């Protein structure tokens, strides 16, 4: 596969400024990067890497990795999933922040936060930056929101856009779909149907409301086919379902059956499952 540059636009280069605390932002050879000897995770979900690779092919790399110089090349500090996905795509170089030996561990996080507060980033660039703060620096949705002046739910809903199929992410980056259209498409788990609706919306100039109606109709039809006729769900159950989705940042379905029922929570990768677990069971996560 022919190598091409990582798809970093103006936004992310502004997001990772070159300053006195870091050696700088650069495109470096993938082959020159040594693995992080302190990486605690030894296994990575192949499906998660495949999805990230597809996203990189569609819209480019939205989050740089972090490296230190060492051993005649570079040593990976953060971003192993991104590095693996870039290797899978076949790119020869990768966007990286090169940290100096004197760089404090929090300096990149501080730079990310500072620039998120002032730069006019694309919505996916913003989502990727939120994700990087959480993945590489252990921040929660609440932490990110507090630092950048947004509500936890705004951070969660923005990050959910990274769950969209790569082809839809591409439409969003090109401006063919608005963030409102993209958020409406998150209402269905049927990837083929979601991509079909996205393509129709672009070709026929659909409004956000029309996309919402198409997704709602599909969801209603799916529920009717999968179960015998159901009673109308109480408003309190619907509200609780929406609050859980907002809290956990993922699709939640409550199958209400009167006295009992079940709750289904969607996750997209082992890392996403670990994040949900922390929200549910770890105090102050």
Question: Known catalytic residues?
Answer: 80
Pick the closest to residue 7 from 58, 67, 65, 66 (CA basis): 58
Residue pair 36/44 in contact by the 8 Å Cβ criterion: no
CA distance 79 to 184: 30
Quote the tokens at residue 242.
Answer: 């929406």
CA distance 87 to 90: 5
The dihedral built from the CA positions of residue 68, 80, 105 and 116, taken in this order, carries a sign that is: positive
Pick the closest to residue 177 from 134, 112, 124 (CA basis): 124
């989502």: which residue's tokens? 127
CB neighbour list of residue 55: distance below 8 Å, 6 or more residues apart: 62, 85, 162, 166, 169
DSSP 160: G
Quote the tokens at residue 264.
Answer: 């289904």
């Amino acid at each position: 596969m022919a190598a091409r540059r990582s798809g970093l636009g103006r936004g992310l280069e502004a997001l990772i400024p070159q300053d006195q605390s870091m050696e700088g932002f650069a495109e470096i050879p993938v082959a020159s990067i040594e693995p992080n000897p302190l990486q605690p995770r030894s296994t990575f979900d192949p499906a998660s890497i495949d999805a990230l690779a597809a996203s990189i092919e569609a819209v480019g790399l939205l989050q740089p990795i972090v490296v230190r110089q060492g051993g005649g090349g570079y040593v990976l500090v953060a971003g192993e999933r991104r590095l693996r996905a870039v290797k899978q795509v076949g790119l020869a170089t990768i966007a990286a922040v090169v940290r100096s030996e004197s760089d404090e561990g929090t300096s990149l996080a501080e730079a990310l936060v500072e620039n998120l507060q002032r730069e006019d980033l694309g919505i996916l660039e913003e989502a990727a930056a939120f994700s990087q703060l959480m993945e590489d620096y252990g921040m929660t949705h609440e932490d990110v929101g507090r630092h950048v002046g947004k509500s936890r739910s705004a951070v969660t809903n923005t990050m959910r856009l990274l769950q969209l199929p790569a082809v839809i992410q591409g439409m969003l980056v090109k401006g063919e779909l608005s963030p409102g259209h993209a958020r409406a498409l998150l209402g269905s788990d049927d990837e083929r149907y979601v991509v079909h609706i996205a393509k129709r919306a672009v070709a026929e100039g659909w409004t956000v409301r029309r996309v919402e109606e198409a997704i709602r109709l599909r969801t209603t039809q799916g529920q009717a086919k999968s179960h015998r006729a159901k009673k109308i769900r109480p408003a309190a159950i619907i509200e609780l379902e929406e609050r859980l989705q907002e809290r956990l940042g993922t699709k939640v379905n409550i199958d209400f059956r009167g006295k009992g029922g079940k709750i289904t929570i969607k996750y997209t990768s082992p890392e996403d499952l670990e994040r949900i677990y922390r929200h549910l069971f770890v105090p102050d996560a």
